[in-house]
Amino acid sequence: MKSPVSLLLAFVLSASVLPSLAQHAAAPAASEQPPAAAAPAAPAPAAAAPQTAAKVDPNAGSAKFEAVCVACHGAGGNSGTPANPKLAQQHPDYIVKQLQEFKSGKRQNPIMQGFAAQLTDADMKNIAAYVGSQKGKPGFAKDKDLVATGEKIYRGGIANRAVAACAGCHSPNGAGIPAQYPRLSGQHADYVAAQLVAFREGGRKNSPQMTAIASKMNDREIKAVADYIAGLR
């Protein structure tokens, strides 16, 4: 038989070793636990709804035209004043471009700059839609001595000075090309002549192409082609 001392010693040794073994056995178990699941990603923000352009409103354009433009440009855009252009049946994109350039100062005219400054982009588009939908009243050529010269320039240009035919851009009947070149058919001769002189002299600078053409034309040629344009149908 073992002595009481030996039994006591064995008990003490086993009591000190067992907790250590238990801790050692628990360590691998802890390390083998699966990692905590990652927090779910925050949902992506919803895409902003696309903005739709405001619809053009010719009725609103009519009201604004009557309030701001009619005194100079006439009912329905058919100006009766030779110095003021007819706007009826003009391409809307061209009207908007000119109003924007009056407002920005790219096209100089103190009266038009003052009016254009009051208009929003929506106003401009609405006015352009309104006048573009109105029927233009025909005009007439008045100078029979120049009409043949005017027709020759409009349809064939001035070859020896590299002046292009007007019809190439503004069409044979003066209808122009939407979004590119304005309608000229029936426009007041005085207004057309004044614009050609302004292009030639540098008073109007918002079309390098027209500046290049007008710079090669003399007063008689300008008057002739302007008179011919007034009679185009």
Contacts (Cβ under 8 Å, ≥6 apart) of 115:
68, 69, 102
State mean pLDDT over 46-75: 86
227 contacts 142 by C-beta, under 8 angstroms: yes
pTM of the full predicted structure? 0.78
Percentages of the chain per state (helix, strand, coil), in multiples of 5: 55, 0, 45
Query: Domains in the chain, please, with CATH?
Result: 55-137 (1.10.760.10), 138-233 (1.10.760.10)
Contacts (Cβ under 8 Å, ≥6 apart) of 56:
92, 125, 126, 129
Q: Where are the alpha helices (DSSP H) in 184-218?
A: 189-201, 208-214
In the block, tokens 């003399």 appear at: 218
Six-digit token string for 28 = 């691998």
On average, the pLDDT of the chain sits at: 85
Instruction: Summarize pLDDT for 179-233 with one digit per residue, the tens.
Output: 899 999 999 999 999 999 999 999 999 999 999 999 999 999 999 999 999 999 9
